[in-house]
Chain A
Amino acid sequence: MSSSSDDYSDEDSYILFKDREDWRDVIPVNPEDNFEHEVVRIAYSEDFKDCFDYFRAICDKDEYSERALELTEECIKRNHANYSVWEYRRRILKKLGKKLEAEYDYTQKMLRRHIKNFQIWHHRQVLCEWANDGSREKAMTELIFKQDQKNYHAWQHRQWVVKRFGLYDGEIDFARELLIKDVYNNSAWNHLHFCIQNSTGWTEEIRKSEISFVLEKLEVAIDNECSWNYLRAIQNHILTANTELGDKFVSKLDVIEERGNSHKHLAAYVADYLAEKAENDSDKEAAEKAVKILTELSTDLDPIRRNYWNYLSSCLSAQFQ
């Protein structure tokens, strides 16, 4: 829930539109079709009603002017999710042929306050389209990441800009740097995959170097689901495609004497690898070993998901009875 309405309520100098000299020619529109049994009413403040009464008035008049632009800003302050106000604002900007500089500043200011608002992000995207310019977006999203490094909208925006304007240069390094700071940042892992997918593509060479990268990261944090997911993804989820790697993890798990919760993703990888092997080659021995690991997952390594691991282990046992 937003608390945006607190942003302006203390402004003592604020003047209602009905009291503004330069708005005297406009008659506010307050449709009186008040439904007797209206549901989910909102206890609007006086300034909220005032703004929207004047907003309806300028829309009815089809007015596209500086003062109308200012009015949309006041409406947006009071409800930044009203997409019709944003739409009208865009029409005003177009009709007045406004330079977009100020609008970029304005949206940036708004985004930093309301980082999860869909309409502001959408508006920003439209601006970039109009200006055919995405050059400031990387820096802008980085400001947002300082507030919230997993902000979904900012990542979506950055990816859109990178793709739309072909700004892949430096992106892979950017994602890697974020992962050096926080290896658990799933958004950064996703971005790394996105950039490779859409720039160089998954050549054999890249796949190899990415495997080394992720192995390094697993040395730092063996329990990190993101790293394991990335490793699976770059092999297209076919774990037996790389038996060298699979066997390496099998041995790695074998030699860990005190296995605990932090080994659950390693164990899950090994179990999946062995189960796949068992299925491909009707390898009963691999199946038995996988069942053993799944059982260990359910009892010791990951008991919160014990039902799930038990279910997998019984499916596999049944298959190889």
Chain B
Amino acid sequence: MDEFDIGNRKSHIRYFKNILNVLPQRYASLDSQRLVIAQFALGGLSLLEAIDEVKNKQEFINWIYSLQCPSGGFYGSRIMKNLPAHLAKPHIASTFAAVQCLILLGDELDNIHVPELLSWVHSLMNPEDGSFQGAADGSEPTDLRFTYCAAFLTHLFGADAKEFSEDDIDNAVSYIISCQSPDTSFGQVPGSEGHGALTFCALASLKFFGRLHSEHGVLSGRELRRIVRFCVNRQSEGIHGRPHKPDDTCYTFWTCAALKLAQPSIEISEKLDKERVLNFVRSCVDENIGGIKKLNAKNQYADPTHSYFALAGLGLIFNDVIPEYMLKKKYIKRVLRIRNKVKESRLLESNEL
């Protein structure tokens, strides 16, 4: 991997560590998705090779598991958990974030209730159109972001045919395809405007479902080349998500990850001007508190989302992040080992039965 430098590493580390500690009151609207914020902060530290700055890893892990719902999935925070059973609903984005955090903290995922988790994910699927909702009973809408989370979880925990049948996967895949917009990128729901982030969600989900670049691939070579064109056109200096929208640091990840997934054999820097992307991200560094802002504007502060995705995007462009996993390369071996381990232990269990 080539190194990249976005300035004061120490101040970025401090920024992410502060997030893990206490957020000011103005962040109260993030209260229901605190696991997601934790993922951004830990992910940021991992990208800065500073994960060991996190002390008390075991307590952190315990906190995450304390948010697990016995019948599958994770709550985003205590406030979502401490409600009567009919109202407390785990969320698929929190669950994705919980698993990411556990991986980054070196946990072996032994305490995940795997069968419960998978049947819960399955229950979030709408059998009519193959879409996934974020939380049960319509308390959250359905869209392609949640399909991505579902695809990651079913891939990692090795859903078997009883949990996710071929028909279920076909159904989920046809929903993804129905979100393809006229310009060949993907939107949030069928009909909506194509967008870098949703294009990532679509391609990464197809990858996890084994329907991208495989004998079961559902997008033709021509279509993939058109998607490449859409993504490549998203650079003006930095990267944006839709035609004629301003560059925004978080799309450094989303759009570039979609680009990489559409054509994995070719490095991103063979298609985009990586120095310009790097310069744009550098210009968005928050000089006061560390971290990265959405845009290069004076009245803005860094925020966890843009800080994380900007770094993940650079990691990707500099060839050190695997897009569909949103993780640095060095974690993938362990992720795949865990995946095999889960598979074997479940096989063993079913044989014992």
Q: Does A26 contact B (CB under 8 A)?
A: no
Alpha-carbon gap, A186 to B226, bound state (A):
17
- Given contacts A40-B41, A156-B189, A307-B269, A81 and B141 within 8 Å (CB-CB): no
Q: Does A5 contact B (CB under 8 A)?
A: yes
Q: Which residue of B lies closest to A30 (CB)?
A: B82
Q: Which residue of A lies closest to B64 (CB)?
A: A39
Alpha-carbon gap, A247 to B104, bound state (A):
55
Inter-chain contact total with CB atoms closer than 8 Å: 198
Whether A225 contacts B243 by the Cβ 8 Å rule is yes
Alpha-carbon gap, A121 to B266, bound state (A):
39
The answer, among A6, A37, A87, A121, for a CB contact under 8 Å with B26, is A6
Q: Does A94 contact B (CB under 8 A)?
A: no
Q: Does B25 contact A (CB under 8 A)?
A: yes
Whether A305 contacts B232 by the Cβ 8 Å rule is yes
Whether A42 contacts B23 by the Cβ 8 Å rule is yes
The answer, among A37, A186, A232, A308, for a CB contact under 8 Å with B62, is A37
Residues of A within 8 A of B137 (CB): 87
List the one stretch of A15-23, A55-63, A100-108, A251-259 in contact with chain B.
A55-63
Alpha-carbon gap, A31 to B83, bound state (A):
10
Q: Does B279 contact A (CB under 8 A)?
A: no
Shortest distance in angstroms between B95's beta carbon and chain A's nearest beta carbon? Answer: 14
Residues of B within 8 A of A2 (CB): 26, 29
Alpha-carbon gap, A42 to B59, bound state (A):
18
Within 8 A of A (CB), among B44-76: 56, 59-60, 62-63, 66
Alpha-carbon gap, A233 to B230, bound state (A):
13
Indicate with 1 or 0, residue by residue over B77-93, a CB within 8 angstroms of chain A CB atoms: 01110111001110100
Whether A184 contacts B271 by the Cβ 8 Å rule is no
Within 8 A of B (CB), among A62-91: 62, 78-84, 86-88
- Given contacts A39-B38, A88-B87, A5 and B26 within 8 Å (CB-CB): yes
Whether B31 contacts A79 by the Cβ 8 Å rule is yes
Alpha-carbon gap, A160 to B62, bound state (A):
42
Whether A155 contacts B193 by the Cβ 8 Å rule is yes
Residues of A within 8 A of B135 (CB): 83
Residues of A within 8 A of B191 (CB): 159, 163, 194, 197-198
Whether B22 contacts A118 by the Cβ 8 Å rule is no
Alpha-carbon gap, A209 to B120, bound state (A):
49
- Given contacts A5-B26, A155-B192, A226-B243, A305 and B272 within 8 Å (CB-CB): yes
Whether B84 contacts A82 by the Cβ 8 Å rule is no
Within 8 A of B (CB), among A1-27: 1-6
Residues of B within 8 A of A60 (CB): 84
List the one stretch of A43-51, A135-143, A212-220, A283-291 in contact with chain B.
A43-51
Whether A156 contacts B192 by the Cβ 8 Å rule is yes
Whether A41 contacts B193 by the Cβ 8 Å rule is no
Indicate with 1 or 0, residue by residue over B220-263, a CB within 8 angstroms of chain A CB atoms: 00100010010011011000001111000000000000000000
Residues of B within 8 A of A184 (CB): 243-244
Alpha-carbon gap, A150 to B195, bound state (A):
12
Shortest distance in angstroms between B300's beta carbon and chain A's nearest beta carbon? Answer: 9
Q: Which residue of A lies closest to B294 (CB)?
A: A1
Residues of A within 8 A of B242 (CB): 150, 186-187
Whether A52 contacts B271 by the Cβ 8 Å rule is no
Indicate with 1 or 0, residue by residue over A121-160, a CB within 8 angstroms of chain B CB atoms: 1100110000000000000000000000010100110011
Shortest distance in angstroms between A107's beta carbon and chain B's nearest beta carbon? Answer: 14
Residues of B within 8 A of A319 (CB): none
Q: Does A33 contact B (CB under 8 A)?
A: yes
Q: How many of chain B's residues touch chain A, expressed as a range? A: 35 or more
Count of interface residues, chain A, beta-carbon cutoff 8 Å: 73
- Given contacts A41-B23, A83-B139, A152 and B195 within 8 Å (CB-CB): yes
Residues of B within 8 A of A150 (CB): 242, 245
Whether B19 contacts A152 by the Cβ 8 Å rule is no
Q: Does A208 contact B (CB under 8 A)?
A: no
Residues of B within 8 A of A122 (CB): 140-141
Whether B232 contacts A59 by the Cβ 8 Å rule is no
Whether A84 contacts B139 by the Cβ 8 Å rule is yes
Indicate with 1 or 0, residue by residue over B178-208, a CB within 8 angstroms of chain A CB atoms: 0001111001110111110000000000000
Alpha-carbon gap, A4 to B59, bound state (A):
32
Residues of A within 8 A of B59 (CB): 36-37
Whether B30 contacts A42 by the Cβ 8 Å rule is yes
Whether B25 contacts A39 by the Cβ 8 Å rule is no
Q: A84-B139, A190-B192 are known; give 19 further A-B pairs, CB within 8 A.
A: A1-B27, A1-B29, A5-B28, A39-B20, A39-B34, A39-B60, A40-B21, A43-B22, A44-B28, A59-B87, A62-B84, A80-B29, A81-B29, A82-B31, A155-B193, A156-B188, A304-B276, A306-B273, A311-B270
Q: What are 25 A-B contacts defined by CB distance under 8 Å?
A: A1-B301, A1-B303, A29-B82, A33-B78, A33-B82, A39-B34, A40-B19, A41-B23, A42-B30, A42-B34, A43-B24, A82-B80, A83-B139, A84-B80, A87-B87, A125-B141, A152-B192, A152-B193, A156-B192, A190-B181, A190-B187, A226-B244, A305-B273, A307-B272, A311-B266
In the A-B complex, the 6 residue pairs with the smallest Cβ-Cβ separation, listed nearest first, are A37-B59, A233-B182, A190-B193, A229-B183, A87-B139, A308-B271
